[in-house]
C-alpha cells in the first residue's frame, strides 16, 4: 500500500506540473508498448482531464440542455417546465433540483449581486411554482455551506433558517413530493435538530419515498460521527436500510457510503482497505450495481465511490469496469469533496489504468 500512495503523490504532482513540462518539451515522447509509460487512459476512450464535467454524477442531456438555455437567456421557464414533467417520487427530480440550485449558487459566487438572477425572477414571477420553491430552498442550503462565516456562524444559521421556511412553502405547494423534506434534512444537520425532531422529519420523507437513495444519503450525513450521531449509529442506519432494500434498489450500497464517511478517523489503520468491513461494504455495492436498473440516476454515484475503494484495494480490473461506465461526468463523491475534483479523479483513473495494464490488461481485453 505504501508504494500505491507514493504513486498517488507523484501523479498528483504531475497533474500540476505535467502540462507545463510537456509544453516545454514539445509533447509526449514515444514509448514502447507495454512499458509503464505506455499506460494511457485515452486508449480506453476516457476523456482528458480538462473535458471532465463537474456538474453531474452521470449523463442527463435534458437537464444539461435546459441549463444551457437558462444560463444563456436568464429565462427560468425551461427549468420550470422540466421539473414539472419530472416524477415527484423518483431520484431524478431530486438530482435536477440540486443541479439547478448549484448552477444558481455558482453563478452568484462568480458574479456577486447579479449571478443567478433567473432563480430570483422565477420565485418573484411564479411564487406558487413548486419546482421554483424547491430549487430556492436547496439554493439557500448550498449558500449556507458556502457562507464566509463557516459552519455554525450567525450567517450560516440565518441562511439555514430561511431555507427551512422555504422548505415549508415548497412542501405546501407540492403535497406528496419528498424533495422539500429531503432538502430540510441538510437544514436539520446544519441547525442540529434533536434526534426526535429529525425522526419526525425523516418519517415524512419515507412516507413519500421509502426507497429514495438520495434521501438516505442526506440522512446518513446527519447520523455520522462528525455531526449528530456516531459511527455505530451511522452504520446501523445504513445496514438497516440495505437489509430492507427492495430487489434492484441501490440502497444495498448505503453501507459503503457509511464507511466512506468515517474513513478519516480510521484511515491510519494498517490494512484498512483489506478489512472485512470494507470488503463486505464493497461487495454489497458491487452487487447493487449489478442488479440495479441501468438507467437509475443514482447508479453513477455508487460507481464513483466504488472507483476510490477498488483502486485503494488494488482491484484494478473491477475499478476499470466502473470507470468505463462513469467517465466523463464526475460531479459525485468522493471527487466533489476535493479542491480540484478533476485532478484527483484523473489520478485515480491513471492508477487504475496502470495497475490494470501491469497485470496483463489492455483496451482490447476490457472492451470485449
Length of the chain: 368
Percent residues over pLDDT 70 in the chain: 87
Q: Is the pLDDT of residue 59 over 70?
A: yes
Distance CA 259, CA 362 (A): 31
Whether the Cβ atoms of residue 306 and residue 289 lie closer than 8 Å to each other: yes
For 66-100, how does the pLDDT look when each residue is reduced to its tens digit (9 = 90+)?
999 999 999 999 999 999 999 988 899 999 999 99
Q: Supply the CATH classification number for the domain 61-204.
A: 1.25.40
How much is the pLDDT for 229?
87
pLDDT, tens digit, 9 for 90 and up, residues 302-316: 999 999 999 999 999
Higher-confidence residue: 344 or 17? Answer: 344
pLDDT of residue 213: 96
The DSSP output letter for 251 is G
* Cβ partners under 8 Å of residue 215, min gap 6: 94, 178, 181, 182, 185, 205, 206, 209
Amino acid at each position: 500500500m505504501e508504494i500505491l500512495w507514493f504513486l498517488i503523490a507523484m501523479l498528483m504532482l504531475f497533474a500540476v506540473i505535467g502540462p507545463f513540462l510537456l509544453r516545454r518539451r514539445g509533447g509526449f515522447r514515444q514509448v514502447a508498448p507495454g512499458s509503464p509509460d505506455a499506460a494511457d487512459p485515452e486508449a480506453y476512450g476516457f476523456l482528458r482531464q480538462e473535458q471532465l464535467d463537474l456538474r453531474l454524477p452521470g449523463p442527463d442531456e435534458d437537464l444539461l440542455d435546459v441549463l444551457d438555455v437558462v444560463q444563456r437567456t436568464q429565462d427560468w421557464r425551461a427549468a420550470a417546465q422540466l421539473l414539472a414533467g419530472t416524477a415527484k417520487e423518483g431520484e431524478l427530480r431530486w438530482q435536477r433540483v440540486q443541479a439547478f440550485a448549484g448552477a444558481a449558487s455558482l453563478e452568484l459566487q462568480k458574479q456577486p449581486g447579479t449571478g443567478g438572477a433567473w432563480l430570483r425572477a422565477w420565485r418573484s414571477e411564479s411564487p406558487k411554482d413548486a419546482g421554483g420553491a424547491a430549487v430556492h430552498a436547496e439554493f439557500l442550503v448550498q449558500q449556507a455551506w458556502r457562507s464566509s462565516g463557516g459552519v455554525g456562524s450567525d450567517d450560516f444559521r440565518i441562511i439555514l433558517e430561511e431555507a427551512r421556511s422555504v422548505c415549508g412553502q415548497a412542501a405546501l405547494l407540492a403535497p406528496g413530493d419528498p424533495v422539500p423534506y429531503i432538502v430540510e434534512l441538510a437544514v436539520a444537520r446544519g441547525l442540529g435538530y434533536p434526534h426526535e425532531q429529525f425522526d419526525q422529519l425523516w418519517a415524512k420523507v419515507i412516507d413519500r419515498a421509502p426507497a429514495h437513495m438520495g434521501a438516505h444519503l442526506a440522512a446518513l450525513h446527519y447520523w455520522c460521527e462528525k455531526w449528530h450521531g456516531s459511527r455505530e449509529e451511522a452504520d446501523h442506519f445504513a445496514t438497516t436500510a440495505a437489509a430492507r432494500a427492495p430487489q434492484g434498489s441501490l440502497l444495498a450500497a448505503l453501507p459503503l457510503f457509511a464507511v466512506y464517511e468515517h474513513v478519516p478517523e480510521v484511515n491510519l489503520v494498517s490494512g484498512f482497505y483489506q478489512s472485512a468491513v470494507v470488503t463486505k461494504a464493497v461487495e454489497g455495492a458491487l452487487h447493487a450495481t449489478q442488479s440495479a436498473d441501468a438507467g437509475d440516476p443514482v447508479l453513477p454515484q455508487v460507481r464513483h465511490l466504488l472507483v476510490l475503494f477498488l483502486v485503494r484495494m488494488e482491484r484494478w480490473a473491477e475499478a476499470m469496469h466502473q470507470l468505463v461506465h462513469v467517465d466523463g461526468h464526475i460531479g459525485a463523491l468522493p471527487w466533489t469533496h476535493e479542491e480540484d475534483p478533476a485532478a484527483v479523479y484523473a489520478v485515480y483513473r491513471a492508477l487504475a489504468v496502470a495497475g490494470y495494464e501491469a497485470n496483463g490488461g489492455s483496451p482490447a481485453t476490457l472492451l470485449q
